[in-house]
Chains A and B, each alone.
Chain A
Amino acid sequence: MPSLRELQTRVLDALLAASPENAIPLIAGFSGPAASRLGVYRNNVQSNFEEALRSSFPVIRRLVGADYFRQTAREFQRLHPSRSGDLLHAGAGFPDYLAGLHHDDFTYLTDVARLEWLVQEALLSAEHAPLDLQKLARIAPAEYDALCFELHPTLRLFESRYPALRIWEANVDSDVEPETIHLHSGGDRLAVARCRLQLQFHPLSAGEHCFLNSLSRGESFATAVALGEDSDPRFDASAALQRFVAAEAVVDFRIRDLQDHNPQDNGTS
């Protein structure tokens, strides 16, 4: 008699990798073939996984069609089975998987998939209260260089050389006939966030993108400003800060301890 561990390994191999031969002898006898009974579970396992991907990537499914999406979801599951009892994160590797297929038409699709995943992350991340401006006003000018701003937990940065957001917006409502979008009609540089249950897309300049990217790595305000200015001569740090505080993209801050060394920080202060 196989141990419980051995039985479970053999059954899971049968369900995930379609290799039922080692599991069939474990199944009790009945009038039909054991493979059919395993097949019932295999269908459930595949359709549960596909359903999770469908709900994370509705736009990709619409763009590639239901049949191709199902086939791709199955192959992705075979190579990257779920590692959690909760399917919420099952699609995390799906954009990279699409990129790895090296299909000519998939360069833009991969970017749309990355955007869809960031949208899901933004929708499921924690809420946060707006920045306390009075608390900020109490900071002494001498401490400005050590200021580290915190971004809203839902905020995600996105860049693409394709108009991924327009493609997403045109396809997210499956009842609306999508407009034709030229793939080379301009790229995207965005912050995706959710504020009080409302999904938001903030278009960013190159400088703003660098600035937020630096803050998201936990670097100081001074470093983020320097990086923003380096990448974009028109970057206006105080305008950017005002904009992101008003948009609730910047929600908190701390004064960095001088001992609090961050190896990623270029340390312009």
Chain B
Amino acid sequence: MPVSAGIGLRAQHHLHVLSASPQTAWFEAHSENYFADGGSHVECLSRIRARYPLSLHGVGLSLGSTDPLNPQHLANLRRAVARFEPALVSEHLSWSSAGGRFANDLLPLPYTEEALRHVSSRIAQVQDALGRQILLENVSSYLQFQSSTLPEWEFVAGVAAESGCGILLDLNNIYVAAHNHGFACHDYLQGIPQHLVQEFHLGGFSRIDLDGQELLIDTHGTPVCEAVWDLYAAALRRFGDVPTLIEWDTDIPAFEVLEAEAGKADALKAAGHAVAA
């Protein structure tokens, strides 16, 4: 996977990418959007994959759930991996189902030893089923559980150590969670072992007022904010130059806007922030 910045591929841009062949280093697609047996999305991604390196990024496996892993979902993911031969496969450190019902959202886990052991064994199952390592992404969150006993970064690092997965560090999610829960982003970065991080995500958030308090919501619908660019520069210094992705999921702008954001990430790297690793 090239270390230059890639762009999150959304269906709105399929035809532009195929007709204009932009100089994007790589694309990342949401795995579930290409689970269908056939049709235009699957066809477009096959053609895009023939020209660009690809990462598949899952949003629905519900890794942290205590329900058994959904065998159909896992089979669909395995088929997508076989079909599109991605360089990276990632999932979220979250859960979304209980008793067979799905919320279809990325819900945070309680950061406990029980959850750490549980999610690690689930990741091991997925890695066995796919026959490869996956990357695990930290999520944004708007609440914390009373029962949590570990800081989030210790939980993330612990899961990676126990399951053998890599880490996809979403710097926007760290910033959002740090603001919402009152911890320091710096502590988070320092708590993640350098050799585990294999990808960065960058995206935008929104602010809402909730009961007189400002809450940051991970909407991926705005440009990356200055504070997150600063955090990215700090992450480059700590973790070195790893593939970076620009994500935009709501109010999706023209492709050129995403290219400009990717260009900004590459410029930060070129400015010499990536020295470690």
Contacts and interface: CB of A to CB of B under 8 A. Distances in A.
Nearest to A13: B98
A125 B37 contact: yes
Interface in A42-88: 44-45, 48-49, 52, 81-88
A25 interface: yes
Contact of B32 (A38, A41, A86): A86
Interface residues of A, number: 50
Contacts of A16: 101, 103
A34 interface: yes
A153 interface: yes
A179 B96 CA distance: 43
B43 interface: yes
A124 B142 contact: no
Contact of B40 (A8, A26, A197): A197
B120 to A, nearest CB: 13
Contacts of B144: 27-28
- Which of A29, A83, A86, A88 has the most chain B CB atoms inside 10 A of its CB? A86
B102 A4 contact: no
B72 A84 contact: yes
Contact of B110 (A7, A25, A38, A86): A7
A88 B35 contact: yes
B146 interface: yes
B19 interface: no
Interface string B36-79: 11111001000000000000000111100110001011001000
B143 A38 contact: yes
A84 B101 CA distance: 7
A262 interface: no
Given A1-B112, A44-B105, A85-B70, 8 more contacts: A4-B109, A4-B112, A26-B147, A40-B208, A45-B105, A82-B104, A85-B96, A124-B37
